[in-house]
Structure 1
């Protein structure tokens, strides 16, 4: 029987799921329950290559969403019968350096970390608790976005802030998008015909959330996201880097409290703040000064990180684009690397514009620093790490 893993990515108003065989990469089923808690929700379930099974109805909570997922499996197939359930968990703090089997102690630890990821860890826990009830005899595994960045050296993860903040409150850089970085860094090394431990990469994960990561010999040594996913690049609704004094100024001048400032920077910043839209496709389609300025701010920030990480690594074997924008937006890829020719980094216009959904180089053959597009596959990576953690099977 195939070792099928049910991968659950539980968000604040959605449940993304996929049934994956990590050995063969077969995907018997995948689906999305969206707009949970709203007046009208939607479930879209795909089984194999058949037509989608769609149901439009309210899903008051995540429990109803997971029940709808099971109804979809029953109606459209296949029988899920997973050997394990793998859960994406955003923040693992300093405790979790790898995927772990979930027990009550692990759940308590994830809950304790909720203040570091208040928008993510609580809903990740909701998915875990519901799945444990739904599959009581099936092992559950937590796979952490932060785990890949546990190799950051102290000079990368330490903020120059009071000692009490660092030691008592745990203030430090953690980094995110680690599951994606783990996957694409291995695939990039394979594309180059090299061992991951021999390769230095700059990974640009560009989606609604966006990050840059410097990888040296397969290990994360610096990354743009910080204690939370707010720091770093300009994103769909997140500001990225901003003066830390901003909160104090807005409190004095605007009467805003810390929670209001944090919410605005996370949900009303980024492309949304600059253009009124958080969707890069909509911004790219516009031809006005506001959109052009937003695109220059977005790509300029990325160029700054690429230059800094090039200096940090000393030798860069490839620049890797991934994520929804990184994989599909040729114009953004070109703009992110414009003017970096002196560093050996150039994009070939013809290769970059060519339509393809696969792994590919968008630089000229023999380029000093190849520029690659590697589609991410976080679900398969979660399934792979989940399978490796299963007990008494010889897999771990």
Structure 2
């Protein structure tokens, strides 16, 4: 077993009804010699915008001249992109070595009769990223939580600073039965050693639940970012809602530096680094190779996200020829349907078995499998095509377009 296969092995062999197990993760960590993070940790949790916040936090820290390892999920075009050093994906050889170390640990794990449950791929990439941070001589580690918080392996590496993006009712019935329960689960990433918690404005009940938990767990007040007046020039940040996720990441990084008694980045250097940030798949624009077709791509997963993407597109295009949509059942399919009324739409279904596509769709929407989405297919949809859906789908689209994703910023 080698390369990225090791990261999916335990998950693929899980029995029916198996649940993600932090006890199993702890056991594996001991077997591979992972005793915790060796450097300060900044962790990002939330329902949407975590990747943007983690990228900008990493860029802010890297602007000080420090080495920063970032772990996000999923990758865009490659699983190497789940682990980055100063914005750049690790090499194939580095991922191979990490996979071999994970594989050796898996072979020594007790059987499921003794240690039930399974290891999520995202959690194994988190473990690999923490290992790589030590090997690479990192100064900081930025972790993006996967679906949860307390149930996610990032919770095994207590953060010095936690940043919380907007939390809404996603994964109901998995993380909790209400948005408040989901918020509480995500807040469980915070430990008694966490020194600061920053958050975007939340729904009142969600904000109250987060504050209650943080007060009990870490005796802290949650610092809520004031989105009425940003602290960084708008030209250095992504457009629309992405700006506040980026502001959150930068604010959390600044707080981490302050808590550690370290200097903030030089303003000129910070501008240079932030100007270099690229966020493929998040309101990004691309051309289909060999054609005049332009793709505007966004990882919108809700009606509100779709509405925002449409609004941003209209600032640059006078019309939209076609819209591609890929939303599994657990996303806001109904909201997307409402917002896209009147547009020609093709719905794309992914082949991954852990995604379900059973929701009712408008009769006038075309439906295709992902293998049908090729450059020739895209160029046949017109010159202005909007692509919307999960980060997984954006990654597939970026691959079809052969878009550069190896580096997110230059320090």
Whether these two folds match at TM > 0.5 is: no
TM-score (norm 1): 0.31
Higher strand share: 1
Q: Which protein has greater RCO, CA pairs closer than 8 Å, 6+ apart? A: 2
Relative to the length of structure 2, the TM-score reads: 0.30
